[in-house]
Amino acid sequence: MKKEKQKKKEAEENNKKKQIQVEEEKDEKEEGGSYWLPIGLCLGISIGTAIGSATNNIALWLPMGISIGLCLGIAFSGDKDDNE
């Protein structure tokens, strides 16, 4: 009886450890996607500033560059596996 209870406890602990590992792996995958967002933002600011200064209209092109950069950052940070 004691051995059976001990085996059940060990099995429950192993299941909990596996669940924690799976959750940690999911968190790592979610965190990896935010890598491209700031890069896209910086590129958008740079491009918007360059076009804005060339056309003498920074007030228009800086927000345009930011929005384009954010869109590119989100597009690049998307999941590699679209089948899931």
pLDDT tens per residue across span 25-71: 666 555 555 788 899 999 999 999 999 999 999 999 999 999 999 99
Question: What's the rounded Cα separation, in Å, for the pair 51 and 71?
Answer: 18
pLDDT at 61: 95
What angle, rounded to 10 degrees, do the helices at 58-76 and 36-55 form?
160
Binning pLDDT at 50, 70 and 90, where does residue 17 land? confident
